[in-house]
Every structure is written in structure tokens, then in C-alpha cells.
Amino acid sequence: MQRRTFMKTTGALGVSAMLARPGSAVALIPAESSAPDTWMQDVVEEARRLGAAQADALSLSHRHQSIQVRKDVVHGISDTEEDGITLRVRVGMALGSASVPAARRGSPKDLARRAVEMARATPPSIREGSIALDGELHPDVHVMNTDANGVDTRRWSTAGVTDPFLVPLDERIAFLRDLNATALRIPQIPYAVSNQFLQMRTTTHVDSRGGRFTQQQYASYVNFAVTAYSAQRKLMDTRTSEREAQSTDWTGATASMRSELETAMQEVLQLQRADPVTPDHYDIVVHPTLLWNILFETLLPHFDPRQLTGLDGRLPGDRWITLAQRGRLPLSSPALRLRWDNTLRGGLASSGWDDTGVAAAVHPLLDGSGAIGRIPRSLDLLLSDPVYGLGFPGMTFSRAPAWNLPPTVAMPNVVLEGGPGKNLDALIAGVDDGLFVKGRGTVVTNPGKTLFRVRPQVAWKIRGGKIVEMVREVEIETSTEQFWNALVEVGRGEDTFLGGDLFPRRAFPLWETPFSVATPPALFRSIPTYRAEARA
């Protein structure tokens, strides 16, 4: 088609589209344009009419925007917004699901028919034991909180948070530019970069048992990195901000950013003058800005539900922790007490309910006795989940990774329980000869996540219970088992820091929905420590 022809044709079509009306040849407006809530109710009822024993519909709207400013230049802005509806049905003992974009949802009958077709083409494979005699799913699998009339019309949103997208774009860019400009005023800091990530996730759930709720979650994450260079010593060091992604708004994400920048600038300049660490086994106090990341990268992958149940597609025999050893894990530190917590304020996985209507809950993961408390599970894992065969207690938590995917098992927030009242100074006071390390560093692991290496951003020597000097080039290399068994004391709960990854898909196993990891500071005994540069 020649350009002029196309312009002529499309121009005409464009005009006709603007005037689109029912029955016209160009129907840009979907045939069914009822309000989404009503439409979702209709699609659930239609699925029931078509033979579904159960049905639930989830509408998910997701917006993401990221900005990067390098020095004073906007390097990139990405902006995506998508929304759609997924209907999940159970027909007999088989599940099926189908998704449509919200803007093209069409008739409820079409989506219902498609989802039921999917279930009918799936062999019946939900385990018998997971279905109660009355045909409803086991209460532990699917619990709706309904009111006295059996209808739930609840709403939930991130507490005390305003929509960060309402802050004008130029205002947010100006903030990032200002952070960089502040750092670049120091001659020894030639490079600064700052980023902003905003996310909004809005869901509405309607199910065939009268359940209905709407949730809105925001995540805001502002970070920076400042790089110092010493021409004299030919050293380059980088220090990043400490605050991690949280379920918060623009004000919450930026509140401490300027003071963090001041600290980072001082520390990176101090680091340039520091001497390298002497390799040895040290008692180490780990600041929570680093500890959450070590927990996230080294220990939590072993508690991923798919990995525990052998459904992750990895080589058999390649798993350090299996369900068979759930009562006698190779983790013996009584201080290692972890809990799942989807009620955590600011947590990226915190919500009123999961995407299937199960209320947010708190459950033990590890209680210090070397036994697993509960692990996350979901309806789709019922198909093959050996957890059920073992009668092992689970914690239902499902989230949809995207608008066009059904809810599936997800990682809840994880909290390392605080100890009996020691603050950071008191933990340091308990070390005679050791290190204090902080700042998220790159954690390098072997494929099995049983060995790891991490370089903290900054480290100080501790002598006689006091911090005496900064040291550089600290690298911790040990096994996951040795490291966590060396945990002797966790700081007080009040000093808990909220870490978390907004893009956990980078990790392995593939965690597709964000969750937070909260830790206080902690003391580890006799950790092998090396000098990074010397080992390179």
C-alpha cells in the first residue's frame, strides 16, 4: 500500500471509528460495556451456568514507570500500563482459565465459555483429599471472608499512601537531578546516578461464593549510586542508597533520601582512604541493609514452594533442602526464626487478601528448632503437590504475575524475628575482634545456592566491642549452611529494616511477584573473610 493510499484509508477509518456506533462496520467499543464489577459478576455466573462447580474472576490493572537520571541527564523513562481479567473455573476435578484485556472484554459468555473449555480439555487431576465432601474446596485452600449476608464487598489499600503517579513527572525528575547535583558538588565524586520506580497494582476479585473485594497497592522505590575516584590511589568506589522498594508513596520513598545521600557521600570518601581488610575468620555484625539481601539470595530460594516440592524443573538431587527432611533441617541455629507475614506494613506482598480471596496471614517458616513451619501453596499446586499427600501444613498464598495469567503460588513477605532487646551498638559491643558490614552488595551463588560470595559496600573493624576503623575490599565467602548456622544473635525487633525486591524475576527460582524481606541486624561467629582485590 502506498503512503497516500494508507493515509487516505486510515484517515477515513479513523473518522468512522470516532463515530462508531452499535452495528457499524468499525466497532472499537466492545460489545459489552457494562461496569467492570457487574461484568465480572456476570462472567462468574455464566461460568456456573456452563457447568463450573466454582469460578472466580480477577481483574488486574498494573502500571509501572521507571526513570533513570545520570548526572543531570534523563537517560531513560519507561512507562507501561496494562489491565485485564482472568477467569478461573473448576469443572469437576479439573481447572481451566482464560484471560482477556479489559478494554476488549467483549461478552461475559465468551470468556466463561473459553475458561470452561480449558477445564474440560484438562484431565481431572485435583487430588481427592483436597476437596471437601460438599464439593467446595478445602477451607484451608480457599477461604472467603463474607459478611452476615454472605457477601464480601471489602476494600483494601496500602495504608496511608497516596497515588505516587499523581506527583508530576517533572517534579520527580527534578528530585533525582537534585540528588545527583548534590553528590557531584564534591570534586572526588565524578559520577552519580539515580532511579525512580513506581508501581500500582489494582485488583478486583469476584467469586461464585459471593466473595468480592477490591485492593490497591502502590510501590515506590527511589535509589541512587555515587561513585568516588581517587586519582592518587587509582581507586574507584561506589555507595548506593540503603532504602529498598516498599509499598509506599512518593513521600515515603524520598523521606530519608537526602540524609542517606549525605551518609553515602561521607562513607564513599572515607572508603577511599581505608586500608584493605586482613583475611581471617571474623565475628561479623551484619547490618540489615545487607542481611536481608543475603537472606533473599541464599536461604529463601530453598524454601520456594516449587523447589521444595520438586516442581521447579531442576535436576533431581540438586536440592539442598527437601520436604523429606522438613523436621530435621541442616539449620541448627536457635536464633534463626523466620515467619511469613503478609500483614507487614510496607511489605511488597502485603494485602488484605491474596488473589484468590484468602485473608492475609502470619505463619511460622522456621522456629529455631530446625523444622519447617509452613510453606506457601496454591490451588494449582493441588494437581501435583506432594505437600498434600504428606498432610503437611501449608499457607495458601496465590498471586497473579500479570493480568493475563491465573493466580499461582507466590512468596509471601519474610521476617527474621528480632531477638531479646539488643540494639546495633550492643551487638557490636559483644564482639572482641571482628567486622561490622553494611550496604547491599552483589551476592554471587553457585547454581544450587549452597555456596555464596558477597562484598559488602562498607565495612569497619571492631576491636574490644568498639568500631575502630573502616576497612575496604571485604569479601565474605562461605556456604549457605555454614553462614546461617553461625548466626548467634539477632538484634531487637525495633531495628528491623524492610528490604525487598521489586523485580524478583531476576532471581532463581523465578519469583514473579514482589515480596519483602525484613531483618534486624545480627551477629555471626567466625565467618571466612577474604580481601576481594587480592583474590581477583
Partner 1 sequence: MMTRHDAETILSIAVQSPGADELFVSLTETEITTRSVAGQHPHPLHHSSGLTLAITARVGTRYGRVSGNVYEQADIRALVARAATLAAQMPETTEVLPFPGAIDVAEAATYFPDDGGAMWEESWRGITSLREDPTTASCLAFGSIASTSTVRALASSNGLFVYQPSSLGHAQFRCYTEDGRSTGFAERFRPDRTVLAPRDVLRDAVDTCLRWRGAKEIKPGRITTIFSPRALADMLQPMLRQFSTRAIADDQSFLRRLDGSSFLGSTLFDTRVTLRSDPYDARVPSLPFTADGEPVTARHWVSAGVIAQLVTDRYEAAAVNRPVVAPPSNLIIDVADPVADLIADTEYGLLLHGFANLNILDPKNCLLTGSTRDGLFLIEKGRIVGPVRNLILRETPVYLFKELQAFGMPEVVSPTGSYFPMLLPPMKVKDVMYSQPSSLI
Contacts of partner 1 in 462-481 (CB under 8 A): none
CA distance 530 to 468: 19
Site for partner 1 in 389-428 (CB under 8 A): 403-406
Q: What SS3 string covers 295-314?
A: HHHHHHHHHCHHHHCCCCCC
Encoded one letter per residue, x for contact with partner 1 by CB under 8 A and - for no contact, window 210-229 reads --------------------
Closest approach of partner 1 to the CB of residue 33, in Å:
9
Measure the N-to-C terminal CA separation of the chain; round to a whole number of Å.
59
CA distance 380 to 387: 13
Q: Is 510 an interacting residue with respect to partner 1 (CB under 8 A)?
A: no
The residue among 17 and 362 lying less far from partner 1, judged by its C-beta, is 17
DSSP 388-425: HHTT--EEE-EE-SSTTS--EE-PPPEEEPPBSS--HH
Q: Is 352 an interacting residue with respect to partner 1 (CB under 8 A)?
A: no
Closest approach of partner 1 to the CB of residue 186, in Å:
24
Closest approach of partner 1 to the CB of residue 140, in Å:
20
Site for partner 1 in 168-207 (CB under 8 A): 169-170, 173
The residue among 4 and 506 lying less far from partner 1, judged by its C-beta, is 4
Q: Which of 23, 187, 316, 464 binds partner 1 (CB under 8 A)?
A: 316
| Size of residue set near partner 1 by CB under 8 A | 71
DSSP 75-111: EEEEEEEEEEEEEEEEETTEEEEEEEEGGG---HHHH
Q: Is 26 an interacting residue with respect to partner 1 (CB under 8 A)?
A: yes
The residue among 79 and 262 lying less far from partner 1, judged by its C-beta, is 79
Contact window for partner 1 (CB under 8 A) among 313-321, 325-333, 456-464, 520-528: 313-321
Q: Which residues of 481-497 are buried (b: 16+ CB within 10 A; e: fewer)?
A: bebbbbbbbbbbeebbb
Q: Which of 118, 161, 226, 331 binds partner 1 (CB under 8 A)?
A: 118
Treating both helix axes as pointing N-terminal to C-terminal, what angle do 36-49 and 108-120 enclose, rounded to 10 degrees? 40
Q: How far is CA 437 from CA 369, 421, 449, 464, 467, in A?
A: 27, 20, 22, 16, 11
The residue among 10 and 153 lying less far from partner 1, judged by its C-beta, is 10
Q: Is 119 an interacting residue with respect to partner 1 (CB under 8 A)?
A: yes
Closest approach of partner 1 to the CB of residue 51, in Å:
16
Rounded to 10 degrees, the C-alpha dihedral 260/515/521/249 comes to 30
DSSP state of 157: E
CA distance 487 to 426: 16
Q: Which of 143, 235, 269, 311 binds partner 1 (CB under 8 A)?
A: 311
Closest approach of partner 1 to the CB of residue 273, in Å:
35
Q: Which of 49, 104, 258, 273 binds partner 1 (CB under 8 A)?
A: 104
Site for partner 1 in 71-100 (CB under 8 A): 73-75, 77-84, 86, 94-100
Q: Is 305 an interacting residue with respect to partner 1 (CB under 8 A)?
A: no
Place of cell 530519608: 256
- Please count the residues of the chain: 536
Contact window for partner 1 (CB under 8 A) among 28-36, 339-347, 438-446, 482-490: 28-36
Contact window for partner 1 (CB under 8 A) among 23-31, 211-219, 284-292, 322-330: 23-31
CA distance 82 to 100: 11
